[in-house]
Amino acid sequence: MRQSAERGTRERILEVAEASLGEHGYHGTRLHDIAHRVGIQKASLFHYFPSKEQLYRAVLDEGFGHAEQTIARVLASEGSALDKVRALVAAYVDMVAAHPARTKLLLRQSLGDAPSGYHSADSERLLRQVASFVTEAQRQHLLAPIDPLGIVLGVVGMVAFFFTSAPVLAPNWLPDPWGSASIERVKRHVVSVVERCLTGGGAPDDEAAALPAQPSTVQPSR
Amino acid sequence: MRQSAERGTRERILEVAEASLGEHGYHGTRLHDIAHRVGIQKASLFHYFPSKEQLYRAVLDEGFGHAEQTIARVLASEGSALDKVRALVAAYVDMVAAHPARTKLLLRQSLGDAPSGYHSADSERLLRQVASFVTEAQRQHLLAPIDPLGIVLGVVGMVAFFFTSAPVLAPNWLPDPWGSASIERVKRHVVSVVERCLTGGGAPDDEAAALPAQPSTVQPSR
DNA sequence: GTCTATATAGGGATAGAC
DNA sequence: GTCTATCCCTATATAGAC
């Protein structure tokens, strides 16, 4: 909206910062490194972002925004409920594989990497959108009645884990973690798992607990 | 094996350090905090551990050791293959729920929280043990032929994600994340998912890729 | 084995020239 | 908008008394 020179540098900073924050976490990231990799001096960063924390938030917002767009696009597409589920998984896997640093960053954030409790309402809304879609399809008996949010959270965690942690824990499983062969393999695997969980088959997995929101039994004082 | 006074303090340091490292990560953890919570002065820590990094390794080793014992015990127990799978899941969920900080720590470690690449061969060996068990049971047609390491890694990531990230991303799902009600709920859910994946049912999910170790097609230059 | 005091370094942030 | 120089604080680690 303003100077054209500023835009380019700002975006490069965000890009490099995402990589660095994903790789080393908030506290492990050095502003000096970011500046160096961008090709400017550390002090120049403060012309674009007033503090490390604000840079962090900017990177985070961009990551969530991108994810939200992707999800919304797939949910709005055509096809059966099961088709959409497959498409959601595929899109999510593609996104994770295309942006490993961003994925690490979001994982770290949910582990509590933030300086102070920076809590994004975006993540909740995003998950609810997908879970609601599953719930609705289940109400119409298009999908098997397994705990919807459980499945969604499970897939999110599983896929993220495949691409971020698995290469460290089991380097032989995905020999080339971000190659297209690995992406397709994970996609097939996860789609397979999800299909087995969301189609016909087995016992209805405690329908009672499927969408409680306020189970009345908890809060053991401690 | 030596002084009784040392043992107690050393263990308390390890305990507190695990909590702190899990909560804030390596770079976010302050030795001053650990010392303060143990009730000693910061300098006294260096009597037990020569550096922050060595303390980190000690905590990590203890975590892996504990996990390995648990896995080994369950694998050595009696019962059918499916029984053992259920028991493995249950034991793993219990472990994660009982030691949230340790779980966070191991997750962080696999994201690359280490100061320098401290790579534990333990994790690989541990995963291979479980995956081998699944593979063997599949060879005897006791379990469905889904990618073994994929299932194991998936469960590991899924459960860890439920207890560490889900409370942040979807606080309504597990209202009391570490209460017994939540533990049982996650256990039922994961067992349900695993059963659907490892029993009869669907298509054989690319058996070819099930245990390649060296797929000959990869290494797309970059 | 625990303390107080201190050395040393590194990183976030600011001032001000150009 | 980018630089150099510098402030200021905090964190790891050490020295040495008790």
CA A101 – CA A59 distance, rounded (Å) = 11
Sign of CA dihedral A145, A148, A152, A153: negative
Lowest mean pLDDT among A45-59, A159-173, B146-160: A159-173
Q: For residues B162 and A149, give the distance between their C-alpha atoms in angstroms, rounded to a whole number.
A: 11
Give the length of chain A: 222
CA distance B128 to B141: 20
Q: Which residue in the block uniquely carries the two structure tokens 């405690």?
A: A206
Encoded tokens for A138: 């289940």
Strand D interface, protein residues by Cβ within 7 Å: A 2-3, 5-6, 9, 39-44, 47-48; B 29-32, 42-43, 46, 50-53
Query: Which among B165, B131, B154 is positioned nearest to A155, based on CA atoms?
Result: B154
DSSP A141: T
User: Which residues touch A59 (CB under 8 Å, ≥6 apart)?
Assistant: A14, A17, A18, A21, A105
B60 Cβ under 8 Å from any chain A Cβ = no
Instruction: Dig out the tokens for A205 from the structure.
Output: 């997995």
Q: State yes or no: pLDDT of A124 exceeds 90.
A: no
Distance CA B191, CA B89 (A): 7
In the predicted structure, residue A213 carries a pLDDT above the cut 80: no
- How far is Cα of residue B163 from the mean position of the Cα atoms in its chain? 11
Rounded distance between C-alpha atoms, residue B175 and residue A215, angstroms: 8
**Do residues B113 and A112 lie in contact, with contact meaning Cβ atoms separated by under 8 Å?**
no
CA atoms within 13 A on the CB side of B89: 26
- CA B61 to chain centroid, in Å, comes to 12
Confidence of residue A122 (pLDDT cuts 50, 70, 90): confident
Chain B environment of A221 (Cβ under 8 Å): none
User: How close A1 gets to chain B, by Cα (Å)?
Assistant: 33
Residue B193 CB partners (closer than 8 Å, separation 6+): A146, A151, A154, A193, A197, B155, B158
Rounded CA separation B214/B204 (Å):
21
Of B28, B153, B175, the CB nearest to A173: B153
- Minimum distance, in Å, between the CA of residue A145 and any CA atom of chain B: 12
pLDDT of residue A201: 64
Comparing CA positions, the residue from B152, B124, B11, B24 lying closest to residue B64 is: B124
Q: Measured between alpha carbons, how far is A109 from A215 in angstroms, rounded to an integer? A: 27
* pLDDT tens, N- to C-terminus, chain B (222 residues): 444 555 799 999 999 999 999 999 999 999 999 999 999 999 999 999 999 999 999 999 999 899 888 988 999 999 999 999 999 999 999 999 999 999 999 999 999 998 876 777 778 888 999 999 999 999 999 999 999 999 999 999 999 999 998 888 888 899 999 899 999 999 999 999 999 999 976 555 444 444 444 444 434 443
Nearest CA-CA partner of A25 in B55, B24, B16, B119 = B24
- From A78's Cα to the closest Cα of chain B, the distance in A is 25
Nearest to B94 by CA among B187, B194, B195, B23: B187
Element (H, E) at B7: helix B4-28
Greater confidence, A178 or A139?
Answer: A139
- The pair phi, psi for residue A156, each rounded to 5°, is -55, -50
Copy the structure tokens of residue B43: 């300098």
Report residue B9 as tokens: 């303090």
pLDDT tens across A34-50, in order?
A: 999 999 999 999 999 99
Domains and CATH numbers, chain A: 61-210 (1.10.357.10)
- What span, in angstroms and rounded, lies between the C-alpha atoms of B167 and B182? 11
Give the integer Cα–Cα distance in Å for A171 and B2: 40
Cβ–Cβ gap B189/A147 under 8 Å: yes
Please tell me the distance from the alpha carbon of residue B5 to that of residue B25, in angstroms, as a whole number: 29
Count H helices, E strands: chain A? 10, 0
Which chain C nucleotides are covered by protein, judged by CB under 7 A?
A: 1-5, 10-16
Distance CA A214, CA A217 (A): 9
